[in-house]
A and B are shown apart, each in its own frame.
Chain A
Amino acid sequence: MAETPFPLNDSPSQGELEQLIRGAGDYMQVNRDLRPRVIEEARTTRGEQQARRWVGRAACLAATVALVISLGTLQGDRSRVSQEPLAASSPQEFFERTQTQTMRSGVELPWSLVEVFTDLRRQQAESLRPMAKPE
């Protein structure tokens, strides 16, 4: 103790104090289990992150596929509907059917007109309901 450069009652200069503190830097050591703990935690977090990303991508893909399929179906229905001619699409055909109805059922022309018109509306409604399943 007597050989120490700084006796107990002397205050060291700032440079000496800095040197002392520098010397104590390696006194503290990191716990040995910290390294594996950090690496394991990083791997786990990374794995969870990748899993979340994978689930997100799968959900996006499924949504895209569903969208494409539904768009395709809708497009198909529309083209089917547009290809089907509407019943009695021309006035001439309409009046021909009215006359035929009058002759067949023997009712007056206005009532036949109503019946043919109602029938026409029903056919149009059915052909414009593309998603309904055929019975």
Chain B
Amino acid sequence: MNTAELNTVELAQRVQQQVLALHCQGVDHLGALFDLTSQRLVRLAIAITRNQHDAEDAVQNVLVRVATKPGPVAQANSAWAYLLRMVRNEAIAIARKKKRWVLASNTLADLVSRCRVDELEREETHRAIWTALRKLPANQAEVVVLKIWEEMTFAEIGEVLETSPHTSASRYQAAMKKLAKCLHRHGTPLQPSSSQPAGKEIVRG
């Protein structure tokens, strides 16, 4: 099952199960947790670090920490929210150290991308969206990621980001305005994607 098809509740339940398995049976269960969460976690980390390599480093550090010491995650009310918060904190720490904010914001060279053959015409749109997203301030970009790709409520987002739901909502509104402006300014061919059956994929790295 593609993890992108899971809804928030299912995902949270499966993450909880995997973390418990990791807690009880050890590092051998890390692969399953990785498959379930890695793309989502890297996506959130990219919003903060603006660089996929740094984002993957953040995710690696967090998953290794979870694998070697799964207790705190297993005991959390929501393992998924806890994991997202860990990745966010790690990504912020890495971004502060490396200071690639400005360098990476205008290029997608570091991004490993995939585009289905039947979606090739939308690739330009996807690239424009990712570029625009990386131009947003990190605290707005992370709200967009959590709201749209993780389908979280503002209350849940507030829990992950340790802010109030109201703050999350206003950051989201500000981000959406900037994204619309940015995409419009660059004349991006805007075409919403519909759910289509998976076709062949072209992977670029």
Contacts and interface: CB of A to CB of B under 8 A. Distances in A.
Interface residues of B, number: 50
Q: Do most interface residues of chain A lie in helix, strand or loop, or is the interface mixed?
A: helix
Interface in A2-21: 4-6, 8-9, 11-12, 14, 16-21
Which of the four size classes fits the interface of chain A?
Answer: 35 or more
B52 A27 contact: no
B31 A46 contact: no
Interface string B34-53: 11001100110010000010
A108 interface: no
Interface stretch (A37-45, A55-63, A120-128): A37-45
Contact of A20 (B26, B52, B60, B129): B129
Most buried by A among B26, B180, B188: B180
B112 A41 contact: no
Interface of B: 4, 26-27, 30-31, 34-35, 38-39, 42-43, 46, 52, 56, 59-60, 63-64, 67-68, 111-115, 122-123, 125-127, 129-130, 133, 144, 148-149, 176, 179-180, 183-184, 187-193, 203, 205
A16 B192 contact: yes
A8 B22 CA distance: 49
Interface stretch (A28-36, A70-78, A79-87, A93-101): A28-36
Nearest to B132: A21
A16 to B, nearest CB: 6
Nearest to A27: B126
Contact of B193 (A14, A17, A23): A23
A104 interface: no
